[in-house]
Chain A
């Protein structure tokens, strides 16, 4: 399993904005993905809210490569709560 740890400013607790999602994905995730195995993306514990706009920007390039229903085969998300993890997955699959 490939592990990708995301880093944000320590004071940042909420992620929002499509362009910010695109930026985080291209700067911290894209080059580290192994499309043939499971990639675990770890969000820092301090991140407790994520807006759909961020998720859409973050997943934009992912959805060009894989079908939305296969997202859990290639990506696992470690976030501060199970509810937030469900939100990420359901927003990608929406």
Chain B
């Protein structure tokens, strides 16, 4: 085999490897983009809940200044959380374990929403617990879409 033939064969092999790597990379990228788009679509379902409704209910429910709870908002917030549980039910089919944890957090939150306005003792620690649950719920939802 001459030097010229050796170089030609080497170039051909390198070309085949590069072509295969390029095809693999394209496939991987498109899969990644599809996954990203799918998660964005899911996220869009909750966009209003996460950026508008939950923050609004939270600020209307507990006054940061006086640390008092609004019982009228409590009723609306309770109904909202019940509906939200139904809205996220499909996550059971995406990641059952994480969805169960999220559901348990919502149930705990709903309990605080109902009971907080009637509490007379340790209100600050219960408000702290309420804020902790809200924070955990955001973290769990974020986990589904990251």
Contacts and interface: CB of A to CB of B under 8 A. Distances in A.
A36 B82 CA distance: 32
A16 B111 contact: yes
B110 A52 contact: yes
6 closest Cβ pairs, A-B complex: A51-B111, A16-B111, A53-B111, A51-B114, A52-B107, A16-B115
A17 interface: yes
Contacts of A13: 118
B118 A51 contact: no
Contacts of B107: 51-53, 56
A17 B111 contact: yes
B111 to A, nearest CB: 4
B56 interface: no
B85 interface: yes
A85 interface: no
Interface residues of B, number: 13
Contacts of A56: 107
From DSSP, what is the main secondary structure of chain A's interface residues? Answer: mixed
B126 to A, nearest CB: 12
Contacts of A17: 111
B111 A87 contact: no
B110 A53 contact: yes
13 contacts: A14-B115, A14-B118, A16-B115, A49-B78, A50-B114, A51-B111, A51-B114, A52-B82, A52-B107, A52-B110, A53-B107, A53-B111, A94-B89
A51 B85 contact: no
A46 B75 CA distance: 16
B119 to A, nearest CB: 10
Contacts of B48: none
A14 B114 contact: yes
A53 to B, nearest CB: 5
Given A16-B111, A94-B86, 14 more contacts: A14-B115, A17-B111, A49-B75, A49-B114, A50-B114, A51-B107, A51-B115, A52-B107, A52-B110, A52-B111, A53-B107, A53-B111, A90-B82, A94-B85
